[in-house]
């Protein structure tokens, strides 16, 4: 992959689930660091409203990127849904929905962008998994299993796409202060005070790691999993 610093134009990235929270923070930070970013979500103030589970939507998204920028250097598979429910109460339709968005969506995204990245000289993909995808958590049957699967996709993609000049890594956030965090705001301080760092994280702290993995500073990093969890994994 040619150095992004030597390109005559800004590097280009797509960020899914960018309507709020982590995705919005990632897109904003990338833009502040000189990237052209195309944001997508099913709602909100984004460049393209699209469903990550829709293959035609991915095709159209790539067409928009090429039309506007002529290349694609980065993809952040951030879009996700979340719910908590005891294992014996999980519903098949809801589990399927979580897997479609949290696992199938990123896979379809990788399939859609890889040929364009290769044609651009290479690129970097960051899949946003979760601490719940590395450890069993009560009530996280669907979400945790989907994020575990996303880790497997990330590693396989790193192996298969590396020869094409495409790096693939995963980020595993712990509790992050977004609307998806399943803890009431007035209980968060006490709930996470026992973490090694004593608090929940912020979307900006996740965005910093995502931006690093997309950048040339991580040019020899692929197939890695980076925990952004305040020390939970320790």
N residues, the chain: 234
Query: Can you tell me the distance from the alpha carbon of 68 to that of 85, in angstroms, rounded to the nearest whole number?
Result: 42
What count of other Cβ atoms lies within 10 Å of the Cβ of residue 220?
Answer: 7
Residue 220 designated active-site = no
Q: Do the beta carbons of residue 65 and residue 9 sit within 8 Å?
A: no
Q: Do the beta carbons of residue 103 and residue 129 sit within 8 Å?
A: no
Q: Do the beta carbons of residue 66 and residue 116 sit within 8 Å?
A: yes
* DSSP 8-state symbol, 130: -
Q: Do the beta carbons of residue 1 and residue 64 sit within 8 Å?
A: no
Task: Exactly one of 35, 58, 99, 143 is catalytic; name it.
Answer: 143
Catalytically active residues are 143
């Amino acid at each position: 992959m040619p150095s992004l610093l030597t390109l005559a134009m800004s590097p280009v990235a797509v960020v899914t689930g960018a309507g709020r929270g982590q995705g919005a923070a990632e897109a904003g930070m990338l833009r502040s660091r000189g990237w052209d970013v195309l944001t997508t979500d099913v709602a909100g103030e984004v460049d393209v409203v699209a469903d990550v589970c829709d293959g035609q939507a991915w095709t159209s998204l790539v067409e928009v990127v090429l039309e506007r920028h002529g290349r694609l250097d980065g993809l952040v598979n951030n879009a996700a849904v979340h719910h908590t429910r005891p294992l014996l109460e999980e519903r098949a339709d809801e589990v399927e929905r979580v897997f479609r968005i949290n696992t199938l969506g990123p896979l379809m995204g990788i399939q859609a962008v890889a040929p364009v990245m290769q044609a651009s000289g290479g690129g970097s993909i960051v899949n946003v998994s979760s601490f719940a995808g590395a450890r069993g958590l009560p009530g996280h049957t669907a979400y945790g299993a989907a994020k575990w699967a996303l880790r497997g996709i990330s590693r396989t993609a790193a192996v298969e796409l590396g020869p094409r000049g495409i790096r693939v890594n995963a980020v595993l956030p712990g509790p992050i202060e977004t609307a998806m965090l399943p803890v009431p705001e007035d209980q968060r301080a006490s709930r996470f005070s026992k973490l090694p760092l004593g608090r929940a994280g912020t979307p900006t702290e996740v965005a910093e790691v995502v931006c690093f993995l997309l950048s040339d500073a991580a040019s020899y990093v692929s197939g890695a999993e980076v925990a952004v969890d305040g020390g939970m994994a320790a």
